[in-house]
Structure 1
Amino acid sequence: MTPHTDETNGTSGVHTTPPLPGLWLTGISSQYPPYLLGPEKLDEFANRFFDVEKPGLKKLLQINKTSGIETRASIGDYQSGFASRPEAPSLNDLDTFYRRAGVDLAAQACRKAMREWGGRPSDITHTVAVTCTNQGNPGYDLLVARRLGLPHTVDRMLLHGVGCAGGLAIMRAAAQIASGATSRSKPARVLAFACELCTPNVRHDLAEAEACADPADVSIAGVLFADGAAAFVLCNDIGLEQPPHDDGDGDGDVRDRAEPLFQLLEWGNGTIPDTSQYMGFYAEGTGFRTVLTRDVPAFTKTAIGPMFSQLVPSFREKVGLDTLGVPDFDWALHPGGEAIIHGAQAMLGLTDEQLRATREIYRTRGNSSSPTVLAVLDLLRKMGRGKDHVVATSFGPGLAIEMCLLRRYREE
């Protein structure tokens, strides 16, 4: 970057800005469990255990038919395991199950992202993880790290309390870690991952709906949330250069360079004042109580534009394009529900093409909370050349909004 005139420093009056540090996504993946359940499966399940004529549950099952989700990714088939017992699973049951099945799913996502990155487990310097469907200590991130054979010295961070915003919260944290490593002239190869198992909580969701006397107050969590995991590897410039290693050909050590997929150039987060009562997730003796009111879409759709306007001037400067606006980006929008997708599209004037990956993930997999926006980003890059620039945005309890602005890596 060229020098520019700045306030005098007492000598030349010229201030030289440091070069723009590179933050690169070099591998990204999503991993869903094997079952895809249509709306009729939830109807059958509810009829086995609950009074479906109760006003709250009746309303929920009506929403189930019109949610826009054709199939939800599920760790189980609603026929066996917790779904077949007379009693609902306890919080202890959910914890034990997650720390087996959730760790397996997260490790699968991580291996896929690491294969695309091309490095070795021993080259990972940091991990950043998130979940809201497990609260165990030590965190599940340690179990995943062990499963992957990461070094015992890997620098670990586990986020909690961010819900559906978690996928981009770990991207923000990874970016801050990598930027800090750059300032210390150290490599950063950050493995970040998110995993949620929401469907094992379905008995609790349906019981809450059955007990809800006013259909207008029913939480739609039971017909919305799915299971899934996602992961990515983010490197700084120094971390793009792999440590030397012996490739076994007898010629000595070689050094590889990871090929980027996206460059992360801007990110931000914030909370919408006086909205924390509209979304929440709380541990109870018989499961997790989800608060998700119909007020959420109205607030989230009005928060996206201001956050984008806050971040895009700096992004324009970094890419050298002064007129970039909403139409110039593909949008990896967290598919929090049909009303959120429609509201954001109408508010920003987005085309169906800009939201193609968001709609496809929502239609075929549902909302798996924190990994979902990363799954959208993973799918988006596989849906043709697309636009050069991408906005990823998600929302969570708080109400919180996360946003990242990326540039696709194009080889000239």
Structure 2
Amino acid sequence: MQPNSPAPGLYITGLGSQYPPYLLRSEDLDQLAARLHDVSSPGIQKLLRVNRSTGIETRSAVKPYEAGFATQTDPSSITEIDQFFRQAGVDLAIRACQKALTEARVSPQQITHTIAVTCTNQGNPGYDFHVARELNLPPHVDRMLLHGVGCAGGLSILRAAAQIAGGASLRRKPARILAFACELCTPNVRHYLSMAECSTDTDQVNIAAALFSDAAAAFVLCNEYATAQDEKVTPQFELLEWCCDLVPDTAEHMTFYADIDGYRASLDRDIPKYIKSAIRPMFERLLPSYDEQFKSRSTAEGQLLSPLGICDFDWALHPGGRAIIDGVAEVLQLSEDQLQTSREIYRTRGNSSSASVLIVLDRLRSKSKKAHVVATSFGPGLAIEMALLRRCQMNM
């Protein structure tokens, strides 16, 4: 492409999400703690109080608390958690990918790249290798596995896919990218309970056991060279703008490290405050370019449109917690309709880390008629990811 030429066309042509079959209620964690731990300890009491106040009615889980890791005398080791992910996590990711491929009308042999993310597995070869093999993707497929981005990961892989697809467009080559996220958080609950029981400082009690759940999500992103070749492809979203940023001096506010008995997480109570302050400036930075690109396409179709604003967008907000959702709604003056899907996912399934924002984006398609969507997520760093998309298929 020459300087000042139009940006490459980037299209999400298929989306898929997959929850495991079990749902955990808040009282299930109470019962698990009572069965295996000293519920009179200050740390356990603090965790269970938080558990009853999250606003989450049910969390998705790969196992109920009456089976598997929840029935062992001791918490699962990091080795056991790793082995379990390589079976249950891979299977969950495969099902999400199959849904995305089916909707995109793309065969496994047509996939040119894969981009995966997880924070709940660290093995080598990565879990993306096993997913690609089970899906019968070509052995020469270009694979990428992201790590270290936590809950921001769903949009991190969207950003990486956009950059790769744009690079392929510069070379006038088709790109059909299968991107997926998978997290198994509940196998780590026993470790969190044990840590809470031993804690002498209730301010340091990790509340992750009350928030996190299990899920996988996937999408297929194609550039304009791929969609031109595939007559049956029906784009769902066009990706027009994206960016990432770090909130200064917040690196220790959200962490997730491997420990001998599982993963050790930390979540600072000030996270909602920092996210509230970061989201509006990021959106306002992206909006003019998005508006210009959208207008240029609409003008070519003979439409005359007013400038876009916050009220014109649905928000696929990562459901990281009720304080985060409420805080973003307040600072941006969003309506309940604009955050309806994020709230529903949080209430009924909890926070599935990197997969959550993609699940919200997937479900949003059947919930609203707005033509524009902001997707935003955040993770360790504190890192903020944002993408602005135009809906191609409207459910009127």
TM-score grouping bracket, smaller chain normalisation: over 0.9
Q: Which residue of 2 aligns with 1:93?
A: 80
Check conservation: 1:241, 1:257, Cα contact below 8 A.
Answer: no
Q: 2:281 aligns with which of 306, 325, 332?
A: 306
How far residue 129 of structure 1 moved from its aligned partner, in angstroms, is 0.2
Structure 2 Cα separation of the partners of residues 211 and 300 of structure 1: 31
Rounded to whole Å, the distance in 2 between the matches of 1:356 and 1:306 is 23
Listed as ranges, the matches of 1:346-361 within 5 Å are 346-361=330-345
Which of 223, 238, 262 aligns to 1:287? It is 262
TM-score, with normalisation over the residues of structure 2? 0.95
Out of 380, 389, 392, the position equivalent to 2:372 is: 389
2:158 is the alignment partner of 1:158: no
Q: Are 1:129 and 2:113 matched, yes or no? A: no
**2:325 matches 1:341:** yes
Aligned pairs (5 A) from 1:27-66: 27-66=14-53
Q: Residue 276 of structure 1 aligns with which residue?
A: 251
Counterpart residue type for residue 294 of structure 2? V
- Deviations along 1:176-219, one digit per CA (max 9) or x if unpaired, are 00000000000000000000000000011111222222222222
Task: Give the Cα–Cα distance (whole angstroms) in 1 for the partners of residues 90 and 3 of structure 2.
Answer: 47
Correspondence for 1:195: 182
Aligned-pair distance for 1:17? 2.2
Paired residues for 1:8-23 under 5 Å: 17-23=4-10
Q: Please name the residue that 1:69 is paired with.
A: 56
1:227 aligned to which of 214, 232, 255: 214
Structure 1 residue 256, shift from structure 2 partner: 3.2
Shift of residue 410 of structure 1? 4.1
Task: Look at both structures and tell me which one has the larger radius of gyration over its CA atoms.
Answer: 1
Structure 2: runs of 5+ lacking an equivalent:
296-304
Preserved CA contact (<8 Å) 1:278 1:291: yes
Asked whether the equivalents of residues 235 and 393 of structure 2 are also in contact (C-alpha less than 8 Å), the reply is: no
Counterpart AA for 1:261: Q
Aligned to 2:171: 184
Could you tell me whether the CA contact under 8 Å between 2:43 and 2:197 is conserved in 1?
Answer: yes
TM-score normalised over the length of structure 1: 0.92
Q: How far apart are the structure 2 equivalents of 1:72 and 1:326?
A: 30
Deviations along 1:268-288, one digit per CA (max 9) or x if unpaired, are 001001001110000010000
Supply the distance in 2 between the matched residues of 1:344 and 1:211 (Cα, whole angstroms).
35
Distance in 2 of aligned mates of 1:130 and 1:387: 29
- Separation in 2, partners of 1:405, 1:364: 26
Structure 2: which amino acid aligns with 1:69? I
Name the structure 2 match of 1:171: 158
Q: Offset of 1:16 from its aligned partner?
A: 6.7
Secondary structure, aligned partner of 2:252: helix
- Residue deviations 1:87-130, cap 9 Å, x none? 21100000000000000000000000000001110000000000
Distance in 1, Cα, partners of 2:310 & 2:205: 35
Q: In the alignment, residue 45 of structure 1 is paired with which amino acid?
A: L
Q: Secondary structure at the match of 1:350?
A: coil
In the alignment, structure 1 segments of 5+ residues that lack a partner are 2-14, 243-254
Deviates more, 1:194-203 or 1:232-241: 232-241
CA contact (8 A) 1:281 1:290 kept: yes
| Amino acid of the structure 2 residue aligned with 1:129 | A
* SS of the residue 1:233 aligns to: strand
SS at match of 2:219: strand
Give the CA RMSD over aligned residues. 1.5
Conserved in 2, the CA contact under 8 Å of 1:69 and 1:366? yes
> Which of 231, 238, 252 is the equivalent residue of 1:256?
231
The Cα of 1:54 is off from its aligned counterpart by 1.2
Q: 4+ residue stretches of structure 1 with deviation over 4 A?
A: none
CA distance in 2, matches of 1:205, 1:382: 36
Cα distance in 1 for partners of 2:52, 2:221 equals 39
1:212 aligns with 2:199: yes
Q: Deviations over 1:361-384 (max 9, x none)?
A: 000000000000000001100114
Q: In 2, are the aligned partners of 1:167 and 1:373 still within 8 Å (CA)?
A: yes
Over residues 280-326 of structure 1, what are the superposed CA-to-partner deviations in whole Å (9 max), with x where a residue is unaligned? 00001000001112111111111100110111110010011562111
Aligned match of 1:403: 386
Q: What CA distance in whole angstroms lies between the structure 2 residues aligned with 1:259 and 1:137?
A: 36
2: distance between equivalents of 1:306 and 1:284?
36
Contact 1:261 1:409 in 2 (8 A): yes
The residue number in structure 2 matching 1:324 is: 308
Contact 1:219 1:293 in 2 (8 A): no
* Deviation of 1:257 (Å): 3.3
8 Å contact from structure 1 (residues 335, 358) kept in 2? yes
- Residues 17-57 of structure 1 show CA distances to partners (whole Å, capped at 9, x for unaligned) of 21231100000011000001110111111111111111121
For residues 240-264 of structure 1, give each alpha carbon's deviation from its aligned partner in whole angstroms, at most 9, with x where no partner exists: 144xxxxxxxxxxxx6331000000
CA distance in 1, matches of 2:199, 2:271: 19
- How many residues align? The count is 386
